[in-house]
Chains A and B, each alone.
Chain A
């Protein structure tokens, strides 16, 4: 894998950091490549802006920060506004469709949307939306193997919630497989709304 930059952003309490840990762990431990995860969060422990960055590579990673992400996962409107400008041309944007309204997006971005919160609620636990998102990420990007991610999920959550999280991953993954071939490509900038 060439150097691949991923940013996951939302608000505190959505499990942003854990989803980044799962991806980094899958790549660096279960796929034997390299991953560096860094994070930043607002002063509030919950509800503040929260963002995690993961750099993936076949080779050891020197520069640890994300500057032009190849993949951006956003789970809040604030994160969408703040981070989409830095997304690489031709990059992938993944949005939590019920929390993010897409507007003013430049062309050339491949957009995939998923109702991760609702899918998590269908499993009975809203808090697993981050793992639904990771499953969806696996299916639509193909960057990290589903097996490695499943192992990383199991290794990163409390034993009592492993089964729930496995189902959350699969739910997001299956939802993503159905969408993988059909991103909302070339998002039409024409009906841009002025905010």
Chain B
């Protein structure tokens, strides 16, 4: 389906990642946003608040992030595409509703412009330390999709994709920006609406009575309806059967939770989104994501100048983790070097995927800035030895 042209600001712009993310949401068809101010993410909703009254939609500033993260889900069941935007402390408050969205299969997007933590941490400075929280932050077992952009252009492109994936898999999608990408200004090309592909809501064609809210299709994703359409359906965060009714026994729990996991795990290959370069002869692969991938690129160039065969594997999709892809890669290289602005969150995933076939060297950073390319270079040189 093509994008609604009213939301697409076609043209060439010089804007930052936060603003580009907002434009991506509008292009993807988001007509509802709820938020609570928090640095360094607020510009996304500030722009949305300015733009949406002339596009046709609603922005509401809620009393806290708990509210924002569930208000958007009410809007989704009312028929809108909706999202919320936050940073670390607010993301922590949103965890209960990431779980609710996963459990009720409510398509929506959570944007997290990451800053230094824990707690209030470094409000204006970057980190990438919420990656595991994005994956595991809400209680219970569920699978998640998370994307990580490394430029304002990707903040636009991948926000569109985040909405599309949330609709296709009926799952909350985490859009994991960082302060650097959010506040970096570059050229952003927004194509004409007819070139923006939008995934429509998986609305059922079944009549009321013949429709079960949680009866999965072949890809394990059930079809959806909205309030007010005559289906008289029920939605709950309790363990539920295919009718959506609470049914709290072991068998129902097993069937439901495994399906929630499998609908995403089974699509791992389709959801593997990487940007790779120089892997034909690479002995050392720098696995990175977000802003760090751009710092790593300089280190890779420096290593190549020193005769080290280094290559790039940038994770655009971080969750589900591209296990199979990295496992295959590990089989033909010496080592993974994993720089990230945290103390080693995705490095462990890389190590797990490599399964001992390649060494994994984390390059950690506690947050507040980006790595020095030199530090990544040293790890590459060490890996090549």
Partners in one complex: yes
Asked if A37 meets B298 with Cβ closer than 8 Å, knowing A28-B14, A64-B180, the reply is no
B298 and A63 contact, CB distance less than 8 A: yes
Report which of A24, A25, A61, A65 forms a contact with B370, defined as CB distance below 8 A.
A65
A28 to B186, CA, bound (A): 8
A64 to B183, CA, bound (A): 11
Main secondary structure of the interface of A (DSSP, over half): mixed
Asked if A63 meets B373 with Cβ closer than 8 Å, knowing A21-B14, A29-B12, A29-B14, the reply is yes
B residues less than 8 Å from A74 (CB atoms): none
Report which of A28, A62, A64 forms a contact with B187, defined as CB distance below 8 A.
A28
Q: Is A35 located at the chain interface by the 8 A CB criterion? A: yes
- Interface size class on chain A is 10 to 19
The residue among A25, A34, A61, A64 with the most chain B CB atoms within 10 A of its own CB is A64
Q: Nearest-CB distance from B384 to chain A (Å)?
A: 21
A-B contact count (CB 8 A): 45
Residue of B nearest to A28 (CB): B187
Q: Is A103 located at the chain interface by the 8 A CB criterion? A: no
Q: Is A39 located at the chain interface by the 8 A CB criterion? A: yes
Q: Nearest-CB distance from A90 to chain B (Å)?
A: 22
* In the complex, per-residue mask of A7-51: 1 if CB is within 8 Å of any chain B CB, else 0: 000000000000001001100110000111111000000000000
A35 to B151, CA, bound (A): 12
B residues less than 8 Å from A37 (CB atoms): 14, 184-186
B residues less than 8 Å from A29 (CB atoms): 12, 14, 187
A28 to B370, CA, bound (A): 24
B183 and A63 contact, CB distance less than 8 A: no
A residues less than 8 Å from B185 (CB atoms): 21, 24, 36-39
Q: Nearest-CB distance from B287 to chain A (Å)?
A: 16
- Interface size class on chain B is 10 to 19
B residues less than 8 Å from A21 (CB atoms): 14, 185
Asked if A64 meets B294 with Cβ closer than 8 Å, knowing A36-B186, A37-B186, the reply is yes
Q: Nearest-CB distance from B148 to chain A (Å)?
A: 16
A24 and B14 contact, CB distance less than 8 A: yes
The residue among A24, A29, A35, A62 with the most chain B CB atoms within 10 A of its own CB is A62
Q: Is B105 located at the chain interface by the 8 A CB criterion? A: no
A residues less than 8 Å from B187 (CB atoms): 28-29, 34-35
B183 and A62 contact, CB distance less than 8 A: no
A residues less than 8 Å from B373 (CB atoms): 63
B180 and A38 contact, CB distance less than 8 A: yes
A residues less than 8 Å from B12 (CB atoms): 29
* In the complex, per-residue mask of A56-75: 1 if CB is within 8 Å of any chain B CB, else 0: 00000111110000000000
A64 to B182, CA, bound (A): 13
B residues less than 8 Å from A65 (CB atoms): 370
A residues less than 8 Å from B14 (CB atoms): 21, 24-25, 28-29, 35, 37
Q: Nearest-CB distance from B39 to chain A (Å)?
A: 10
Q: Is B297 located at the chain interface by the 8 A CB criterion? A: yes
B180 and A63 contact, CB distance less than 8 A: no
Q: Is B279 located at the chain interface by the 8 A CB criterion? A: no
Report which of A25, A28, A34, A38 forms a contact with B184, defined as CB distance below 8 A.
A38
Name 30 interchain pairs, CB-CB below 8 A, sorted by A.
A21-B14, A21-B185, A24-B14, A24-B185, A28-B14, A28-B186, A28-B187, A29-B12, A29-B14, A29-B187, A34-B187, A35-B186, A35-B187, A36-B184, A36-B185, A36-B186, A37-B14, A37-B184, A37-B185, A37-B186, A38-B180, A38-B183, A38-B184, A39-B183, A39-B185, A61-B186, A62-B294, A64-B180, A64-B291, A64-B294
Residues of A within 8 A of B (CB): 21, 24-25, 28-29, 34-39, 61-65
Q: A36-B185, A64-B180 are in contact. List 19 more A-B contacts (CB 8 A).
A: A21-B185, A24-B14, A24-B185, A24-B186, A28-B186, A28-B187, A29-B12, A29-B187, A37-B14, A37-B185, A37-B186, A38-B183, A38-B184, A62-B298, A63-B294, A63-B295, A63-B297, A63-B373, A64-B291
Residues of B within 8 A of A (CB): 12, 14, 180, 183-187, 291, 294-295, 297-298, 370, 373
